[in-house]
Amino acid sequence: MKSNQFFENFTVKKSAWASLPILALIIAGSVLFPSTRVNSQTVQAAPPCTLATLNGSYTTTRSGFVTPNVFSPFAQIGQVTFDGAGNFEGFFFAKSPLGPTKGTLKGTYKVKPNCSGSLTGEAHGKTFSSLVIAHSGEKYYAIPTGKGPLGPEVVSIGTGKRQ
C-alpha cells in the first residue's frame, strides 16, 4: 500500500512540474507583449442624435447594382452639405456600363434620437435613402428605400464622411 501512495504522490508532483514551463511562457508573454493584456475600458453611450448631428460638408461614395433587366454595377462619388436644420444639397458623379453621369441633389432629411434617419428628394418628394449616423455625425451610411430616383431596382450602400 505504501508503494501505491508513493507512486500517486510522485505522479502529482511530476505533473505539477510539467506545467511550470507553460506557466512560465504565459508570464513571459504578458511581460514581453503587454498589448495582449486585457484592459478594462469604460464604454459611454453616444449622445442622442438630432438634425444638428449632420451639419457641414460630407464627401460621399455609393456603389451597388442596378437590376431592372441585367445585373449592372455602378459607382458614385460626390459631396453633400447638411445645414443642421433638416435641409441638404449636393452633387454627384456616377459611372456604370451605360456611361458616366452627373447630377445634383437637394431635399430634406430627418434624424431620430437613435441616430437613424432618412433623405427625401425635393424634386419628387419621396424618401429615397435610409441613414444610420455614426461617430457623432462624422460619418453616415445610407441604403436606398426603393422609392424616388433610385427606384426598387437599385441595390447599393453609400457612405458620407465629414470633411
Residue with cell 508573454: 29
Q: Residues 6 or more apart from 152 whose CB is under 8 A from it?
A: 146
CB 94 within 8 A of CB 76: yes
Q: Which residue would you say has higher pLDDT here, 80 or 124?
A: 80
What pLDDT digit, counting tens, does each position of 68-84 carry? 677 789 999 999 999 99
Give Cα 53 to chain centroid, integer Å.
17
Question: Structure pTM?
Answer: 0.68
Q: How far apart are CA 75 and CA 71, in angstroms?
A: 14
- Domains in the chain: boundaries: 2-36, 51-162
Please state which CATH class domain 51-162 belongs to. Answer: mainly beta
Q: Any residues with CB less than 8 A from the CB of 102 and at least 6 apart, and which?
A: 91, 92, 93, 94
